[in-house]
Structure 1
Amino acid sequence: MKNGLLLLVFTLRSVALCGQWSVSTLPGEPSIRAIDASGSHNIWISGSNGGIFVTADGGQTWENRCPEEFSHLDFRGIAVLADSVVVAMSAGDGSEGRAVVIKTTDKGRTWRKVLEKNEKGVFFDTIRFKSPWTGYLLGDPIDAFPYLLKTVDAGETWVRVGNLPEINDGEASFAASNSCITTSGDNVWFHTQNRIFHSFNSGEYWQVHNSLFLKGASQGIFGIFAIDPYTLIAVGGNYLPHKEPVLQYAHSGSGGQAWYTSKEYWKVGLTECVGVFGAKKHLISVGTDGSALSRDGGFTWKPLDNESFHVVKCFGNTCMAAGARGRVGIIKPE
């Protein structure tokens, strides 16, 4: 194990403005795909070119703590289990040595590999923990069933989840914003382009539900978010240039069994991620075609701007988003 780290520390001169993004750019302009935190004092983001960054001051300064030996990987998933414990997931073909999960227990000073899959076709999409010990990792299907792994020892060991419904031909998930899995209590959901897989008992038994999204190689659901054990928000679109309207938002009040949307949410563009902010738990969404706000639990959405981001996470009344070309934005929506 090499202990050399990319210790790049830099300052983002940005201030969170009310109702307006304050945007800065990380050196090297990595594409950021994931945000997680153990609080506003310990925020981690990750992405391409060995990007595993941490801030302790709300995004004013950042440090890249990726080990040099992993600096070629695209870390599209990150999970913060405690102030000093973080796991990062690399997306890429297993046969090329890119399907990797690494872990630190000392705030990123040293890292070790805890999972590597070398089979051709293995491609990790999302990593999500429902507790500091129990987590799930979703990858593209490599046989007749979804490829879902589970850990119960804080990422030290991973076992493939069985008893899943069969996958359909051409069905997969998008490694877009580390948002293909969501949890609430013992409920676990993950999605493909157009279907929702749900377990109410931490993965022992599964059901599958259809959504309102259409399946395509570049279109469908890009993120799912549990507000509570019954309320879900799904967002999506098409990541390729297109002229035909595609579904952006859908809402479920039945744990994913039935879905609601409106014709105004069929439009050109892509929505990838949702954050919850404020005491009233309002919502903010981001995507490559702009951000939007919902003040009624996701039933209706009002466009905010056309800023492009892949991922968002909120802390109290402040939200942080990040995306392509190293762009990091901070906003106070209320």
Structure 2
Amino acid sequence: MIRKLSMAALGLVTLAATSGFSSGGPAPSWELSGTGVTARFRGLAPVSDKVAWVAGSGGTILRTVDGARSWQRIDPPGTAELQFRDIEAFDARHAVALTIGEGDQSRLYATGDGGATWTETFRNADPAAFYDCVTFLDRRHGLALSDPVAGKFRILATSDGGRTWHVQPTTGMPDALPGEFAFAASGTCLVSAGPLSAGSVSAGSVSAGSVSAGHHAWFATGGADRARIFATADGGRTWHATDTGIPSGPSAGIYSLAFRDPRHGLAVGGDYATPETAPDAAATTHDGGHTWTPSRSEPGEYRSGATWLSTTSALAVGPTGSDISLDGGRSWKEFDSGSFDAVRCVRGACWASGEQGRVAKLTWQR
């Protein structure tokens, strides 16, 4: 029997953790959806089991409101030459999407009517800036990340749901390392622990604990001799950087972060130039990113996306396969060999997206 993952089906995750899906317990698998396009979808924003948005190459944005049975193409006008790499959705009607590139290729678009119309709300005018990803702390406050400009990572901020954006001062930003940058691989190089963060099984679990989730965000880096994670606890005004021990280099580092609350996070990555091998390329934190512990059995291959499935379970994806962790990211097991770039879970529904128009939902088979 195949069951789509729902809040009721999350009990299967607990059963899998105790029985082991490799020995007869519930087994996760991806159910592909026919999107009718060949774009590469690195931007993924599920809202529920029924509603999801994807954004990718060739200026392509799709939306489903019927659980992936059908998709509506809703590209913003004039974006066919642009590359969408991130999209953040509030509901079935409201979303913000980011294109990447040098100079004015980095742009932000917003819609409030399900993609029927889009407004370009930011166009980068600095030739040295290159925006990689965007996240929202709540429905009004959001941040976007650029690679270093004049030796420091640049933060763009909105306080009106993405309608206007402003470059932030860099006085609270540590210096970047030589060659350090962020990876625009899955829209999760910059993440929050707010209500819109990917990977939480419910809105309530996101804000668990005594620390307010709405002020916390993190971004991950690579490219330099060390892979670091930058954290803010004041909505992006000040940041501190932590070395992670994850290998870094010209095409290597941390590609994806996922936080289920202000303290518990995952980091995955590797080297996209050698995707079939990635030693020590996964780590976890239990103190909000101040310290990171290498996973004792990491995926072992390049992974570009990660998400929390429950308070103890997580998923990671990449071009060579998908992995599941049933112990909070300490160990991983591959369950699928298909190619995906991004993965996100929300309200018990897990979605993945990637090359050749691939979009899928997670199911459990008993």
After TM superposition, the score normalised by the length of structure 2 is 0.81
Q: Secondary structure in 1 aligned to 2:152? A: coil
For the pair 1:199 / 2:232, whether they are aligned, the reply is yes
Distance 2:109 2:229 in 1: 28
Matched residue type, 2:128: G
Q: Which residue of 2 aligns with 1:7?
A: none
- Alignment partner of 1:271 out of 292, 303, 321: 303
* Structure 2 counterpart SS, 1:90: strand
Q: Is 2:309 the partner of 1:259?
A: no
Where do 1:200-279 residues align within 5 Å? 200-241=233-274, 245-262=278-295, 264-265=297-298, 267=300, 269-277=301-309
Distance in 1 (CA, whole Å) between partners of 2:46 and 2:220 is 23
Residues 222, 144 of structure 1: alpha-carbon distance in 2 compared, 3 angstrom cutoff: same
Deviation at 1:243, TM superposition (A): 7.2
Quote the residue 2:316 is aligned against.
Answer: 285
Instruction: Give a deviation string over 1:131-182, Cα, whole Å, max 9, x none.
Output: 1100010111121110111111111222223311111110000000000112
Is residue 149 of structure 1 aligned with residue 180 of structure 2?
A: no
Distance 2:333 2:277 in 1: 21
Structure 2 residue ranges without an equivalent (≥5): 6-26, 194-212
Give the Cα–Cα distance (whole angstroms) in 2 for the partners of residues 321 and 242 of structure 1: 18
In structure 2, the partner of 1:11 is none
* Counterpart Cα distance in 1 of 2:331 and 2:64: 33
In structure 1, give the amino acid aligned to 2:112. T
- 2:43, 2:342 within 8 Å by CA — same for their partners in 1? yes
CA distance in 2, matches of 1:264, 1:15: 28
Contact kept, 8 Å, 1:15 with 1:330, in 2: the verdict is no
User: In 2, distance between residues paired with 1:202 and 1:22?
Assistant: 37
Question: Which SS does the other structure have where 2:230 is aligned?
Answer: strand
The 3-state SS of whatever aligns with 2:78 is helix
Please name the residue that 1:132 is paired with.
139
Q: What is the SS of the residue equivalent to 1:257? A: coil
Does the residue aligned with 1:325 lie in a helix, a strand or coil?
A: helix
2:118 pairs, out of 107, 111, 114, with 111
Instruction: Give the equivalent residue in structure 2 for 1:188.
Output: 217
8 Å CA contact 1:86, 1:103 repeated in 2: yes
Distance 1:26 1:252 in 2: 36
Shift of 1:320: 1.3
- 1:81 counterpart (77, 90, 98): 90
Q: Does 1:330 pair with 2:330?
A: no
Deviations 1:280-302 (A, max 9, x none): 55211111121111111111111
Change beyond 3 A, Cα 1:156–1:34: same
Unaligned stretches of 5+ residues in structure 1: 1-13
CA distance in 1, matches of 2:312, 2:349: 12
1:58 aligns with 2:87: no
**Correspondence for 1:308 among 314, 339, 354:** 339
CA RMSD in angstroms, aligned pairs only: 2.2
Q: How many residue pairs align between the two structures? A: 317
Shift in Å at residue 263 of structure 1?
A: 5.6
**Are residues 141 and 108 of structure 1, via their aligned partners in 2, closer, same or farther at CA, if it must alter by over 3 Å?**
same
Q: How big is the shift at 1:117?
A: 0.8
Provide the rounded CA distance (Å) in 2 between the counterparts of 1:262 and 1:176.
21
Alpha carbons 1:226, 1:233 under 8 Å: kept: yes
> Normalization by structure 1: what TM-score?
0.88
Give distance in 1, aligned partners of 2:69 and 2:176.
44
Contact kept? 2:247, 2:253, Cα under 8 Å = yes
Q: Deviations over 1:76-123 (max 9, x none)?
A: 1111134322111101121xx311111111111111110001322322
Same amino acid, percent of matched pairs:
29
Give distance in 1, aligned partners of 2:324 and 2:277. 23
| Structure 1 residues 296-318: Cα deviation after superposition (integer angstroms, max 9, x where no partner) | 11111111121110011224444
Q: More helix per residue: 1 or 2?
A: 2
How far apart, in 2, do the equivalents of 1:317 and 1:37 lie?
11
Q: Is the 8 A contact 1:233 1:249 kept in 2?
A: yes
* Equivalent AA in structure 1 for residue 113 of structure 2: D
Partner of 1:21: 30
Q: Contact 2:298/2:330 (CA < 8 Å) preserved in 1?
A: no
The verdict on how the C-alpha distance between 1:22 and 1:134 changes in structure 2, with shifts beyond 3 A counting, is same
1:205-252 superposed Cα distances (whole Å, 9 cap, x missing partner):
221111111221211000111122111100001111367643331011
Going by fraction, where is strand more abundant, 1 or 2?
1
Aligned to 2:203: none
Larger mean CA deviation between 315-324 and 176-185 belongs to: 315-324
2:328 corresponds, among 284, 292, 297, to 297
Change (3 A) 1:323 1:154: same
